[in-house]
Structure 1
Amino acid sequence: MATQEHVLAEKRLQEGIAAYNDGKMEIAAEALIEAEKLFRELGDLKRAGDCRSLLADVQRENNLIEQSITSYQRAMKLYQEAGRPLNEAQAALAIGHLERQQSHLDRAQEAYERARELYSSEKGNNAQGLGNVVLALGHLELQRGNIDRATVLYQEAISYFSNAQDSINEADARRSLADILRLARRFDEAAEAYRQALEVYQEKRDVYGVVDALSGLGRIYLDQRRLEESADYFGDAVERSRPIEYELGEADGNLGLSEVAELWGQVDQALTSAQLALQRYTDKGNALGTAHTNRVLGEINMRRGQLSYANSTMESALRTYKAIAYRIGQAETTAGLGDIQRRRGFLATALQTYNEALNLANKLQDELVESRALLGMGEVYRQQGQTGQAAVCYRNAQDHMEQLGERAGVAEAQVLLAQLAVFGGQLGEATAYLSKAASNITPVIYPVKASPLLSLVQGQLLLTQGDFVQAEEGFGAAYKQAEGQQEPQLAAEALAGMARVKLSQGELDAASTMFTEARRRFQLLESTDGEGAAVLGIAQVLIGQERWDEAVQRCEEALTRFNQSDNLIGQADTMLSLGLAHRGDGTLEEAATDFEQALKLYQQQQQPLGEADTRYERAGIFLVQGNLAEAREEFSRAIALVEQVMRTMSIPQQWRTFLRQYAELYAQQAITLVRLQQDAQALTQAQSFADIAGRDANAQQIKAYEETVPASGEEMTEDEIRENKELVKRLGQLRKRLR
């Protein structure tokens, strides 16, 4: 009787296994439950445990994770009662995998440790089982971001598998260790480990392992920016995956190809490859792959200027990384999210996000992500006018990049430091930084963001120096490079730069056309700051055309944009322009208030040329009010600031070009001194300008003023006529005495 029941139990077990293999999960579950019951009644607890363990496999296939864990736990109990520690250990290992899949990392570790204890209790230990456990524990620690601990565990796994003469699993462990080495930027060691694994997979004809190894090598070369080799390996992985229908291998390869294409500036191709990868990962329910791809899609769409979509995909990636407790991905994605928020004008939010990324990266010893977060923080501080903090962030990022040997990153930090130097009136320092950046970009064989950025800042420097022809060439080069590399944000900024050159040259119609086009582009890019800058440019054109009411309206529109993003640089420039518009329409009190606000902002930002321009305009208000002494003081302060900036340049020709922009400032100071009966001081001031910039520019300004002084008129008294004639005479003498 017992034998018949045993035969029946075995029959139902085999029926369950057959149904499982045929994919008939409900039939399999029913047969295995019945078989387990029969074996328990027979007292065969080992076979009952086998049935329950197989039932857990069925439930896992049906994605009934909690039920599967419960079944493995029951199997463990049955194996324990049957005195089968190896089977119990295998069930514990399976529980660990399922708990890790659900990101229950502490529960997973508890299950793995129980498995390790059981394998260790075997006589002579069980090298194969212990290898499986410590490999899983290594994955767990990597997920937590404990890189050093994961490294030790992977090394232990290699040793165990080697002792067990299990070359395939040993190769798997070597690949995992290679990934750690890649993260630590020990590229040669990582590549060697992957090549060893690839040889094993090829020898053993493990086609799936071959694909994984190829993708791993592709990622190593990607991190080294050896893009052609990287593309070859990823492409090979994709081609080998298709015949064997290895969808995850194909997805890994396509994701890698997307990242290579993005670095080459082939943004449309990058988008296509990433979308193919996302579809495969989604079909297979691979959360980690989906998160990786959404992060890459976020980067691609940010570059394309689709910031809302980029934000949503990046946030989706971050949610998934957090759900699966994958901290390495969290750090990189958080930094990317900060970039998107900054570009959308949410500076306060971006700063908080960058700080989170910086803290995560610091814990993970990920200097590349630290550098990215620091550059982003520097940009936020710069826009907020906190130049000291911005410089510290840029320099720290530069130091990290230099240690990593990332020349493109070093160049980007140096260009941003140059931009900050231009902003702070340190023009010689800006030139030096740009020269260093150019030397770092030259050896890089792929297009990098720093190239158009360098040309853009070169244009800003030349415009500040007053070299309008060269400035236009710089902005033009930046525009061409940005368009070629599909960097629409930089292209729009370069277009706005060209418009500012036209504005400085008095070509108002051309400037207006360019600013309008730049605004359209910034709107498409969802760039609040960029649109604000373009609208401000349009306002400045209207000021030049003396269309005061329209200029005021545009200034207020620009100010709204800059207030939204807490951009103090833009606010300062806008308040200065708003003051000019108000002065033009005769509302001097409002103009004076605007200039006062602009002055405070420029001083807060330590922007000397902005402060000089504002003091010059304030002096104009004082002149209208007849307050010559106050006007003289403001002119003097403005001149001191201009000369402070001039002295940061080392080439005399640059002094001449730069100072000629301020001919009107020096002329107005000389005229005011003459009006205050301080002719000797007026000559000294005017001659100091002439010695550097030549006498003609200053003399022409004084001559133009002379022609505006009335020497007759029914409403003028004889004393006024006499005083004016005397003033004209003395101004003429001043001109003639200039050398």
Structure 2
Amino acid sequence: MQENPQAAKLLSLLCLLPDGLVLSCCNAALQQVALIDTHQTRLKKLAPIREFILEEYPPAGRPLEELRLHFAQFTMRVYKAAAHITKNAVDALSIEFWNINSVLLHFWQTLADVDACDGPLEATFQLAQFVYLASYGDCLPLLPYAKAKLQILGRGEDATECTRKMGDILRMRHRYPEAAAMLEEAKISFTNFNDQWGAAQCARSIADIMRMQNRYEEALVKLEEAGDTFCKLGAAIDFARCKQTMGEIFSMRQQYGDSLPKLVEAKSTFEAMGDCLGATQCMQSMSDMLCMLNKYDQAAATLEEVKATYDRIGNRLGATQCVLRTGIIFLMRDRRVEAMYNFREAKAAFDTMKDLRGSAQCQGRMGDICITENPYSDAIVMLSEATTAFTSIGDRMAAAQCTQGIGNALRMWNRYPEAVSKLDEARRIFESISNPLGVAQCKHSSGDMLLTIGAYDEAMCKLKEAHASFEVLGNTLGTAQCKHSTGNVLLMLGRYEEASSKLEEAKLSLQLIGDGWGSAQCTLSLGNVLRMMNRYEDAAIRLAEARADFEKLDYQLGVAQCDQRLGEILHMQMKHVDALEQLEKARAVFDTVGDRLRAAQCYQTIANALLTRGEHDQAIAKMNDAQVKFQEIGDVIGSAQCLQSIGDALYALGRHNEAFSNLEGARSVFDEKGHRLGIAQTMQSMANVLIGKERYDEALNWLTESKALFSLVGDQLGVAKCLLSIGNVLRIRELFSDAAIQFEDARRIGVSIMNRHVEAQSSRLLAYTCIALERLDGGRDLFEAAAQLYIEIGLDEQAKICNEALEILRTAVLD
């Protein structure tokens, strides 16, 4: 430094460049100066030393002017047209961004009134546009200094342009209130300067903020205003951008017939004007629409093309949005592993770009996946964080979607009052922003929840409302999903023919829109209907069909679900060894994929199979394991059902007091959760214990109350089972005529709901009653009918008991 007086000047210039100079540009002697760091291929000063030297030896004179000129010319040479961006420009400006920003900031901070500023001003505007389009760097500290100096110099329009650019950058960063204030200020100034183009640009940006805040009507008014101005001025690209935003608004409102023409018109204009970015953004919006219409293959192909373009032109934000949207398509197809990978990749990129909204979108989607995989607490945490982020930026629709997701997680967690509250909160937000799709989805979720807690009539009401809304919106997926859910309600109501019809309709609709996963789920549900009708062979065929479909989709969870149901069929057919093997196979898959709910359900069914085989102690041990697993995932209802089954097992062992205690505990949980079906089933089991303790009057009271509750929730199968138990009490008391009435009523219900197991049980018990009443011909016919029904549903042991009774009856008649 002492030997070369120019060294200080050179060092002060180097300190003005936070990213330093390329080493090849520097004289070797400079590298020998103390306190300089070589980082990769660049030479730079450490931050504290930079600040010291800049203060002690501020850059000045011709060397500083040349440095400013170099970076201003570099910026304008690399990035010539503000509306067009290329990968080369992004790569070149990214390397030197902080140096350019620092030199320009120093210029505006030290600018004297007499200095010429046209070159640095143009470079400042270009750099700000680069930040806006490439989502790289930060010009917000730079632009206020430029604006302040321009105002001092009396260059009001240029100062206003600084305000507009700050507003646009804030808008892209989803800081909507600040952005709107900046843009409104700029719009007023442009109007005062009679700058129609500038005012219209502000109006268009304000409209985009309104779009993101779901203020669609206000946004459309602003866009019409801006569009008219651009049309008069002959600004074709700007007019096309207005059409593009209108198309996006119509799409968000599910008005696809209005949306597509706008996007096609805008895209054509962009292509004609050589605006690659604008055309690509239109294609991206079209892919969103295809996804909403469940045309996933076309949406995915369009996104692939869009992402390739973004990569080619160096648009990091657009490319990352494509990664996110591809993840959403994976999620809609239930390819959750691939979806989660995409969401994590996109979130990391959004975090790097400080894109709060994009990061929150990824967080919300990861929460959705957690809901399906049962770590509900993780899902709620993720969705709550995303809700907070969306609320902070004023995105009410996204916040409502996350609130809806929290409601679904709470529903799956059996925290029903909280779930109802969250779903209602989400529905109200959707209604306030005129989003009928969100309202319909909330109603659908509420319907599914009411189904879970056994409130079938209310569930049916909600699903009808949701179905009607989806039909009005032309949302085929939502309509089909409502039909699927309605089919499940009808199944629980024992209205099997209607359930089959609804499920077949849903399956056909899903096949037509190419939703193979949804179609396979319907086939699985159809298998469940046949299982409940005791048509086990037919059910097995349907389940095998669904299993094959899931295998084609490489959806192992669906395969395991089919294996689980097949195991349950084998259990009902008394083929316990095969049932246990099938259930263990399904359980292993559930454990592997982390589906703890279904794994617990398998343990529960395995325990029931052991109970049916008379292996009561093992059954109780397994049921205890299942109960622990339900408790681990917070499934209070599943845990209570296990407690109920343990009570049934203890009853079979003659341990009546313990049985009653367990059943009371289960009923207490069902009461607390408002699970009416569980209450009715537990009361029925408690009545059976009372029968075993010969407390017949109390048992009849419990059964009468239970039957009324089953009738209230529309569970005809439960009603029939109560009638059978009431008939048994009356038979024990030798009130055979009254017992026969109960058994006949149960038999009629079995026929009406096509439950051949109930029909067979009723026929067998009615046969015993007829014999007691000395109606031997009637008893014989009923035993024959029961035996045939048992054979048809694969219960050979029960058929054997009926045939043995027939043989005894024939022998007695002969004697």
Q: Report the TM range for the smaller structure's normalisation.
A: 0.7 to 0.9
Range with bigger deviation, 411-420 or 599-608? 599-608
Q: Distance in 2 between matches of 1:331 and 1:238?
A: 28
> After the TM superposition, which residues 659-670 of structure 1 pair with which residues of structure 2 at under 5 Å, given as runs?
659-663=759-763, 665-666=765-766
Look up the SS of the partner of 2:141 in the other structure.
helix
* Residues 387 and 605 in structure 1, CA contact (< 8 A), matched pair in contact too: no
Q: Distance in 1 between matches of 2:309 and 2:593?
A: 39
Residue 74 (1) aligns with residue 74 (2)? no
* Residues 345 and 529 in structure 1, CA contact (< 8 A), matched pair in contact too: no
Q: Distance in 1 between matches of 2:539 and 2:684?
A: 26
In structure 2, relative to structure 1, the CA distance for the partners of 1:703 and 1:92 (3 Å cut) is: closer
* Residues 32 and 52 in structure 1, CA contact (< 8 A), matched pair in contact too: no
The Cα of 1:106 is off from its aligned counterpart by 2.9
Q: Distance in 2 between matches of 1:173 and 1:476?
A: 53
In structure 2, relative to structure 1, the CA distance for the partners of 1:35 and 1:426 (3 Å cut) is: closer
- Structure 2: tracts of 5 or more residues without a match: 1-59, 77-92, 701-724, 730-738
CA offsets, 1:635-682, max 9 Å, x none? 559747744643544xxxx465651255555467668xx4xxxx26x8
* Residues 683 and 734 in structure 1, CA contact (< 8 A), matched pair in contact too: no
In structure 2, relative to structure 1, the CA distance for the partners of 1:594 and 1:167 (3 Å cut) is: same
- Aligned partner of 1:554 among 611, 619, 622: 622
Residue 452 (1) aligns with residue 520 (2)? yes
* Residues 383 and 569 in structure 1, CA contact (< 8 A), matched pair in contact too: no
Residue 91 (1) aligns with residue 91 (2)? no
- Aligned partner of 2:691 among 598, 622, 630: 622
CA offsets, 1:163-212, max 9 Å, x none? 22222222222211111111122223322222222222222222222322
- Aligned partner of 1:587 among 651, 655, 670: 655
Q: Give 1:473's aligned residue.
A: 541
Q: Give 1:379's aligned residue.
A: 448
* Residues 101 and 139 in structure 2, CA contact (< 8 A), matched pair in contact too: no
Q: Distance in 2 between matches of 1:573 and 1:736?
A: 46
Look up the SS of the partner of 2:234 in the other structure.
coil
CA offsets, 1:667-698, max 9 Å, x none? 67668xx4xxxx26x87995895697578979
Q: Give 2:289's aligned residue.
A: 220
- Aligned partner of 1:390 among 437, 459, 472: 459
Query: Aligned-pair RMSD on alpha carbons?
Result: 4.7
- Aligned partner of 1:535 among 600, 603, 606: 603
Q: Give 2:46's aligned residue.
A: none
In structure 2, relative to structure 1, the CA distance for the partners of 1:68 and 1:288 (3 Å cut) is: same
Q: Distance in 2 between matches of 1:735 and 1:180?
A: 83
Range with bigger deviation, 201-210 or 573-582? 573-582
Range with bigger deviation, 221-230 or 176-185? 221-230
Residue 139 (1) aligns with residue 208 (2)? yes
Q: Give 1:646's aligned residue.
A: 750
Q: Give 1:422's aligned residue.
A: 491
Q: Distance in 2 between matches of 1:362 and 1:215?
A: 27
Q: Give 2:41's aligned residue.
A: none
Range with bigger deviation, 389-398 or 332-341? 332-341
Residue 39 (1) aligns with residue 139 (2)? no
Q: Distance in 2 between matches of 1:639 and 1:284?
A: 72
Q: Distance in 2 between matches of 1:735 and 1:576?
A: 42
Q: Give 1:508's aligned residue.
A: 576
* Residues 56 and 68 in structure 1, CA contact (< 8 A), matched pair in contact too: no
* Residues 281 and 287 in structure 1, CA contact (< 8 A), matched pair in contact too: yes
Q: Give 1:17's aligned residue.
A: 72
Q: Which amino acid aligns with 2:305?
A: D
The count of aligned residue pairs is 693
Q: Give 2:255's aligned residue.
A: 186
CA offsets, 1:313-372, max 9 Å, x none? 656654543443333333334434544555566656555443443333333333333333
Q: Distance in 1 between matches of 2:662 and 2:770?
A: 26
* Residues 414 and 433 in structure 1, CA contact (< 8 A), matched pair in contact too: yes
In structure 2, relative to structure 1, the CA distance for the partners of 1:134 and 1:597 (3 Å cut) is: same
Q: Which amino acid aligns with 2:548?
A: K
Q: Distance in 2 between matches of 1:257 and 1:341?
A: 27
CA offsets, 1:357-410, max 9 Å, x none? 333333333333333333333333333333344333322322222222223322
Q: Distance in 1 between matches of 2:802 and 2:283?
A: 77
Q: Which amino acid aligns with 1:578?
A: I
Q: Give 1:410's aligned residue.
A: 479
Q: Which amino acid aligns with 2:72?
A: I
Percent of residue pairs identical: 15
Q: Give 1:712's aligned residue.
A: none
The Cα of 1:134 is off from its aligned counterpart by 0.8
In structure 2, relative to structure 1, the CA distance for the partners of 1:542 and 1:202 (3 Å cut) is: same
* Residues 167 and 200 in structure 1, CA contact (< 8 A), matched pair in contact too: yes
Q: Distance in 2 between matches of 1:300 and 1:694?
A: 48
Residue 238 (1) aligns with residue 342 (2)? no
TM-score relative to the length of structure 1: 0.78
Q: Give 1:711's aligned residue.
A: none
Residue 109 (1) aligns with residue 180 (2)? yes
Q: Distance in 1 between matches of 2:507 and 2:98?
A: 64
- Aligned partner of 2:530 among 448, 451, 462: 462
Residue 208 (1) aligns with residue 263 (2)? no
* Residues 550 and 556 in structure 2, CA contact (< 8 A), matched pair in contact too: yes
Range with bigger deviation, 455-464 or 16-25? 16-25
In structure 2, relative to structure 1, the CA distance for the partners of 1:691 and 1:15 (3 Å cut) is: same
Residue 150 (1) aligns with residue 219 (2)? yes
The Cα of 1:130 is off from its aligned counterpart by 1.6
CA offsets, 1:597-633, max 9 Å, x none? 778999975659x958974884575256495996755
CA offsets, 1:682-729, max 9 Å, x none? 879958956975789799979959999xxxxxxxxxxxxxxxxxxx99
In structure 2, relative to structure 1, the CA distance for the partners of 1:704 and 1:97 (3 Å cut) is: closer
- Structure 1: tracts of 5 or more residues without a match: 709-727
In structure 2, relative to structure 1, the CA distance for the partners of 1:92 and 1:190 (3 Å cut) is: same
In structure 2, relative to structure 1, the CA distance for the partners of 1:660 and 1:613 (3 Å cut) is: farther
In structure 2, relative to structure 1, the CA distance for the partners of 1:168 and 1:10 (3 Å cut) is: farther
The Cα of 1:303 is off from its aligned counterpart by 6.0
Range with bigger deviation, 483-492 or 136-145? 483-492
* Residues 618 and 634 in structure 1, CA contact (< 8 A), matched pair in contact too: no
Q: Distance in 1 between matches of 2:220 and 2:490?
A: 43
Range with bigger deviation, 436-445 or 138-147? 436-445
Residue 443 (1) aligns with residue 512 (2)? yes
In structure 2, relative to structure 1, the CA distance for the partners of 1:736 and 1:150 (3 Å cut) is: farther
> After the TM superposition, which residues 286-305 of structure 1 pair with which residues of structure 2 at under 5 Å, given as runs?
286-296=355-365, 299=368
In structure 2, relative to structure 1, the CA distance for the partners of 1:239 and 1:17 (3 Å cut) is: closer
* Residues 307 and 525 in structure 1, CA contact (< 8 A), matched pair in contact too: no
* Residues 72 and 92 in structure 1, CA contact (< 8 A), matched pair in contact too: no
Q: Give 1:434's aligned residue.
A: 503
* Residues 147 and 158 in structure 2, CA contact (< 8 A), matched pair in contact too: no
Q: Give 1:196's aligned residue.
A: 265
Q: Which amino acid aligns with 1:39?
A: A
* Residues 757 and 789 in structure 2, CA contact (< 8 A), matched pair in contact too: no
Q: Distance in 1 between matches of 2:380 and 2:552?
A: 25
> After the TM superposition, which residues 321-400 of structure 1 pair with which residues of structure 2 at under 5 Å, given as runs?
321-340=390-409, 342-343=411-412, 350-400=419-469
Q: Which amino acid aligns with 2:159?
A: E
Residue 166 (1) aligns with residue 235 (2)? yes
